[in-house]
Amino acid sequence: MKLLFIMDPLARIQIAGDSTFALMLAAQERRHEIWFCEPRHLGLEHDDAMARAWPVTVRRIVGDHYLLGQQSSVPLSSCHAVFMRKDPPIDLDYYFATLLLERARGRTLIINDPRGLRECNEKLAILDYPHLCPPTIVTRETVRLRSFLVEQGGEMVVKPLDASGGFGVFHVRQGDTNTGAILEQATNLGRRWTMAQRYLPEVRSGDKRILLVDGEPLCAVLRVPAPDDARGNLHVGARAMPTKIEGRDLDIVAAVGPNLRAAGHFFVGLDVIGGHLTEINVTSPTGIMEANALYGEQYEARVILALERKIG
Ligand SMILES: Nc1ncnc2c1ncn2[C@@H]1O[C@H](COP(=O)(O)OP(=O)(O)O)[C@@H](O)[C@H]1O
Ligand SMILES: [Mg+2]
């Protein structure tokens, strides 16, 4: 297969933990032809989506992990699949990139579906499953945030709609003298929406990342926050621990998986805290390398095998 990876600059990635890099290596190992470009290299020639892309060879050597061939114009329709793996922010530039990718619809498989990348906000998407997610509101009003805090028993989490990696996530406690300042910060003095959610105390034993491939569970990693942090994001010091997909996790996978598959979301990461769905990561989910380290597996190879089966 010919596979194009649209991603952040290859030179800057940390290969030890990068899921995209792992997927590239696995694809190369399976003798697929792999190409690389950044979103800024996308364009249209009439209604054909094109990329000024490079054929690339990758290897697991820090500081010398890739070798580019000759840059050329690649019609996306010439690729069997295109991985859109640019990390957030989901800004106007990202939005336009998805519209360019849209032009390749039906001519190649785009992972994940560009319509979904545009429309599925990772925080808001959980609200499609009200019985599986914690009590949640979205508002710009600090007065409403304060009343929600009381309704939820004096503890809540506020988080921006457009960030990732735990950035801007606050654990708010009634009576904390920083409450007012946190809510002003979270809403930028009423100029920005924030999501407020019941605080799930089970987060102390971990935020479970469940990776799904074409709607089916691939693996799961429990991310345990550092003792002095509320956030179970690996980038801010959470520890990866082994776990199982069990209990309410199975209900969540059963409810969400088929919808993701139908929407063309091939590779997705669900965040689940104490059996509650808190995030649906479609943009550029990670966790493969942590799962490999915990279970002695090579999950990226399974993703590529699933892709081979899908494309046939
Ligand atoms: N409802 C919640 N209750 C307790 N902790 C939460 C809740 N929502 C988020 N968190 C904490 O914040 C972290 C990041 O939240 P998340 O919604 O996954 O956003 P992102 O990972 O995109 O920053 C989680 O790992 C968890 O530690
Ligand atoms: Mg998360």
> What is each CA distance from 83 to 54, 182, 291, 305, in whole angstroms?
14, 37, 21, 15
- Inter-residue contact 220 to 207 (CB < 8 Å): no
CATH number at residue 255: 3.30.470.20
Q: Do both 158 and 169 map to the same domain?
A: yes
Structural domain boundaries, residue 259 = 202-307
Determine the distance separating the centroid of ligand 1 and the alpha carbon of 233, expressed in angstroms. 8
216: annotated active-site residue: no
> What is each CA distance from 15 to 76, 80, 283, in whole angstroms?
26, 25, 19
Q: Encoding tokens for residue 96?
A: 């336009």
Spell 140-160 as b/e; 16+ CB within 10 A means b.
eebeebbebbeebeeebbbbb
Determine the distance separating the centroid of ligand 2 and the alpha carbon of 64, expressed in angstroms. 30
What is the strand order of the sheet 276-281 is part of?
239-241, 216-224, 207-213, 267-273, 276-281
Q: What are φ and ψ of residue 208, in 5° steps?
A: -90, 125
Q: Do both 184 and 221 map to the same domain?
A: no
For 129, the 3-state DSSP assignment is coil
Number of domains in the chain: 3
Determine the distance separating the centroid of ligand 2 and the alpha carbon of 30, expressed in angstroms. 31
| Residue 312: per-residue pLDDT | 85
Q: Which of 278, 282, 286 to mutate to test the pocket of ligand 1 (most atoms within 8 A of CB)?
A: 278
Ligand that comes closest to the CA of residue 209: 2
Ligand that comes closest to the CA of residue 278: 1
CATH number at residue 18: 3.40.50.20
Q: Which residue's C-alpha comes closest to atom 23 of ligand 1?
A: 166
Q: Which residue's C-alpha comes closest to atom 25 of ligand 1?
A: 232
Q: Do both 206 and 186 map to the same domain?
A: no
Q: Do both 230 and 301 map to the same domain?
A: yes
Annotated catalytic residue: which of 279, 290, 292, 300? 279
Ligand that comes closest to the CA of residue 223: 1
Cα separation, 126 vs 124, in Å, equals 5
Running along the chain, 312 residues long, what does each successive block of 10 average in pLDDT?
A: 98 96 98 98 97 98 97 98 95 97 97 96 97 98 98 98 95 98 98 98 98 98 98 96 98 98 97 98 96 98 98 90
Residue 154, Ramachandran bin (φ over 0: left; ψ between -120 and 50: alpha; else beta) = left
The letter for the amino acid at 269 is: G
Determine the distance separating the centroid of ligand 1 and the alpha carbon of 151, expressed in angstroms. 19
120 within a domain of the structure (yes/no): no
Question: For the CA atoms of 8, 59, 24, 96, what is the dihedral angle to 10 degrees?
Answer: 20
Nearest residue to 83 (alpha-carbon basis) of 19, 8, 5? 5
Please spell the DSSP secondary structure of 50-80, one letter per residue: EEEEEEEEE-S-TT--EEE---EEEEGGGSS
For 200, the 3-state DSSP assignment is coil
